[in-house]
Every structure is written in C-alpha cells, then in structure tokens.
Structure 1
Amino acid sequence: MVGYEYYFTNKIKEDTTLRAYNFNAGPAAVPLPVLEQAQKELVNFKNTGMSVMELSHRSKEYEEVHNRAITLLRELMNIPDTYEVLFLQGGGSLQFSMIPMNFLQEGKTAHYILSGAWSEKALKEAKDFGETRVLASSKDANYTHIPTDYSLEDIKDGAYLHITTNNTIYGTQWNEYPTSPIPLIADMSSDILFKEIDVEKFSLIYAGAQKNLGPSGVTVVIIKKDFLETARTNVPTMLSYSTYAENNSLYNTPPTFAIYMLSLVLEWVKEQGGVKSIQKNNEEKAKYIYDAIDNSEGFYKAHATEDSRSLMNITFTLPNEELTKKFLQEAKERQFIGLAGHRSVGGCRASTYNAVPKEACEALANFMTEFKNQN
C-alpha cells in the first residue's frame, strides 16, 4: 500500500486519493485499509452479487459477519463467557436512559461521578427513573481533571456506579478505574479499545462506534450475565437488554452495514498486533502533541491537568482568540481537519483515536511548533 506521505501535502490538490489529517471528535477517522476493503466489497460482497447493505439480516452471509464481529471483540478485549456482547442502536445517548430503566430499582440509588458533559447528560436521564446521587464532580474546576475526592464506603446498597471513562470535550480520561462494591457501569464511547482493560471490573460497558470502532450507527454493549438477570422486566421490548441477549442482537433488523464496518475495524486492530500494540501507538501519538504543548513556553496551554490528560482528545488553548482563529485557518490550509475546540472550552482539540496515523500526529506537532515560532 502506498505510504501516508503520498496522501498528504501542504496544499490541497485536485486528487481523488487525497486524505486529510482527520482530527475530528466524531464521527472520526476510520483506518484507510478498512475503507479500501469496504470500497472493494461495496457492490459485490463475497460473490453474493449484493452489497452488505442489501443482504438479509437472516442470511448466512450476514450472520457470519455479525458473529465474526462478536468473536473479534471478545478476543481483542478478552471478554469472558460470563458476559454478553450486544449490538444496539441509538448511540451512547440512548444508553443514558436504558441503563436506569433496566437497573434502577425502586428503593435503590444510582451513583454518578461527573467528569464532563456526557456524564451530566447520563445523570439527567437517570433522574427520570429513580433516586440518583452525584458521588463526585470536577465541574467546579471546569472539568480539568478526573474527580478523586469520593468514598466508596457508603454506596454498598446502591443500584450501580456510573462513570464516563474519557471526556471528549474537556480532554480528560480515567487512568485507573474504581474498584466498586456495586455494579460498575462505564460509558467508553470515546476510548474503548484504546488500551488493554480488565473487563471483569465492570458489570456493563457501552460505546457508540463512531470514535474507535468504526462509523456511527451501532452501539456496543458488554454486559455481565449475572447483572443482566437483575434487570427489571416491565420495560418496552426494544429497550430491554434481555431482548438483545436472547436473540443475538437480531430480534429486529440491526444496523448491518455499521456492524460490517465494525468487524473490519476489529480485523484491522488484530492485524496491528492487538490492543496492546494499539495502546503503545496511542501513547506515542499523544506524546508528539503534548510535547509540543509543554515545550511551547506557555504559548499553548493544556486544558486538562497532567494526571488526567486524555490520549484520545488533546485540548489546548492559545494566548488569544485572534491567534486561535489564525491557527485554525492555517491548519485547515494544510489539511488538518477538526481542530476547533468545543464551545464550552474554546481553543483547540486534536482527537487522536486509534485510526489516526502516527504521521498525522507528528505532522501536527511540527506545525504547532512552527506556528508558535512564527507568532
């Protein structure tokens, strides 16, 4: 395959092979080999004479795709047989409601640790279904760090503890997950598969696909079977996790093309050497950009404190708004896309998900240093 240097130049060319340096927060970069494989199979998947998008979800050909995705995810994340792997729709946002609808029993309290906007949204939805409690929050510090000022001693009778492992807007990330005395639930939408984790610390993990798993459209849920058995039964069919578990996520038509793309991404992760190799690559990618920030003599300032810095979303500010606009404009001219920060933080954000190549991060770091020296 032609190297990445072929695709990137300082000037935009009229070239169908042109690939941007994609730092979008989501939908985000998809590995180039995955896109090429999907392109190759788009019209005629495995000599069926049809696209994956046209296959019946009850067909043998699609069933193989579906089950391969589950098998790969189990293998790459070392998911025990005591867990179900489910494919849902509605993104992480639907999980904000489904979780309390299924697991917030009357007389119990759901505990939430707030580390950003998405954990706030999850809490807001849970309040409609029962008692909730904010166990800890870093909102007063504009979410510059992961909260640590909490005790797990007094939550032993709680329904569950919910955390958001990575915060796309603020650029913070959990380094160590709490050892919870009650079921631990994690929104891993923006950092699943970024490093090796112990799945057995969690009762439920959920992740929208559009960051590290592929295109938007499918949501992965990894749920402990024992925890699933405690779910309420008086919930609508399509909002019950049991519906998906009992039917291999094929009760109705699943997002077949998104699951196909997920399976290709998981094959790619395996070809890279698995999650351990991906983790090493992510650490090196982030270091390029954080070094450019830390060595800028204050020209760039990271939003997150050093102990909470994300490897997936690197947030930083420049000295003033004028320079920020100039930086973003010059970056765009060089095909660095998606660097504008969220409005609640301002500044800039580089999202360095698994599929973002190391060359892109090194090029951005070099541009940042060059821009700082010129301004």
Structure 2
Amino acid sequence: MAYQFYEEYWKLTNAFTDYNGRKFLDTLAVCIKFIDDYKDEVYSEAKYSRLQDAIYRVNPINHISIRKSINQLVKMGFINSFLISYHPQATEYLEARTNKKRETLLSKIVYSNSSFNRAVNNESSIKQINFLIQTLIEKGKLSKEEIIALMLVDIESHDETFITELELQFYVKEAKDIGFIERKYNQIGYLYNLLGKLDDLVFVRDELYFKEDAEQIFGEDLIAITKKRDPYLHRLYKNQLQEECEEIYGNSMCVLEQLSYPVLIASHIKPFIESDDNEAYDPNNGLLLSRTVDSLFDLKYISFTDDGTMLFSNRISEDVKEFWKDYKLENTILNEKRKKYLAYHRNLMEVIDARA
C-alpha cells in the first residue's frame, strides 16, 4: 500500500479551549444571530468582514484572533461554511443551563458536523473525529502516539471508516521519523483538548478509552486515575503563581521568557494526575508559562536542572534546541520544594525518552 502524509490534514484552529466560557458562547451567539439576520445574502468577503466587526463589538480583540475564532466554530461544526447556516443544536448549546448538558451537545455537534478541513470560505465533508472514534471502536484504546499518528492520515485514501492496527503502526513510526510531534505540538494540544471534552471518552494514563470500557478495565481505580480538577482550588493555585510573579518581577509573566503574555498557563511540574490533593494545588508544584513553553514542558520535551538550566529530550529537534538553548529559570523561583518537583519531572522525561 502507498502511504501519503498530510501534515496540515488534522489542523484544528483553536482560539478557545474553554467551550463553556463566556467568550466562546458570546462569539457563537453573535455568529448565529448574524447568520439569521443575513441568511438571504450570498457569501462575500464584505459579509465576512461585517461578521468580524460584529464579534469585535462584543469581544474587542484583534481581527486575526476573531477570524481564528470563527474558523474554529466552522471546523468544530457549530456553524457551516460560507455563513449559510448553523448546526440545529447550536442554539440549544447556547441555552443549556449546565455544563454537563453542553458536554453532550458538544459531542453530538462535533461528531455529526465537524471537519478540520473546513474554513469560512471552504466546504469539506472529511470527518476526522468520526475516523478517530471508529478507529477507537476497532482497537479499544488509542495511545497518545497513535492519536498523534492519526493526524498524518489521508482519510480519503482509505476505503474503510477506520485504520487498521498495521497501518496505524506505520504512521506511528513515520510521525517519529519526521519529527512531527516536536513541530506540531500546538496542534496536538488542540486535538487533545477537544477529545478530553467529548462525552463518554476518557484519558487514562495518556491512553484514550470509551468510558464504559475504562470502567470495566480499571474498576474503582478509574476515579483516582482520571480525577478532575477542582475549579476553585485550581483558580487559587493559579492566583498564587501570578502573585509570586508580581512579587518577583512586578508583573504576571512567563517565568522562562519573562514576557507578559495575555494568556498564561499554570503548568504543573509533577503532573496533576499523579499528584495527591496537596501536591495538585501546591503553587510550588507549578510554573507560570506561556502556551508554547507549557506544551513543551507538559509533554516532557524540556525540563530544568536545580539551577534553572534547560534540559532537552532526545525526542526534540535540533532547531528547537537551538532556539531555546540560552533560556533558563532564575534562582528567585527555584525554592527547595520546587526543586523536588523538578527532580520528579526530569525523571519522567528520562523514562519517556528511554521508551522512545
């Protein structure tokens, strides 16, 4: 069989990660109203521009981010290409009174209507999430590296609605050989975020299962393995990291790059899933990082020594190493408790590297 690789094939635009958040809901509401108000007007760039202006009045961010947010709604299946219509359950999603109900509606909308190949001015019937879930049905579980490998698959070249084990392992090897993971970690993070919010799917130690299957396999241990964050305690945890930055640097910023990004991630050093209740919300078990650095750190592509020197996984490409080689954490944030957590993180990176 001839294999082809399409690195843009599974590209999901991601302006929002919180699908219950006010910004996501407000943007969706503006799009639905706009489509209703101008349903008889054919698509044009001028029409698209007016929608961007309408969103800007509700959420005054730059127009690049606004275009990204519209395309995310298109790719996820909430609204259709060329602004002609929206998913019949999109309004129900807006009106849902609970996040649990939205989770179910999100799953229906994404499964029935998402396509990562779509854009505002481009239609596509290729359904990547369906292909992934059908593959999960055949295999029973998907590892992180298998999910990543699926992003390289040209779905149209397959007669079946899923990929076989033999074919999938070929793509796993190819993903490693071409350094796909290192170069597309943002896209990988976007897909993981979406999968983690779909109903009846669950990640257990970086492997994706149907929840019912996972319950049968792991029994009572599943609750402990897949524990969810307490939103209030997590907010306090992030607040403490921000306050620490303000005390040291005078502003909330990425502690590695020392840049005040508008969005910063409270990144766990010892993974949340492996932490006890005290460790999970201990600010010493955290670093305030930019999205890019957090992705590298969370996936164990980088770590740090006790003096803050950056360590690189042997899975990361040389150009990435070259870019980050002169960055290091300052001693002001490297207290003794944080150093213990970093030792744990370094060990995880070594274990993953040894398996690669």
TM-score, normalising length: structure 1:
0.28
- Structure in which a larger fraction of residues adopt helix: 2
TM-score, normalising length: structure 2:
0.29
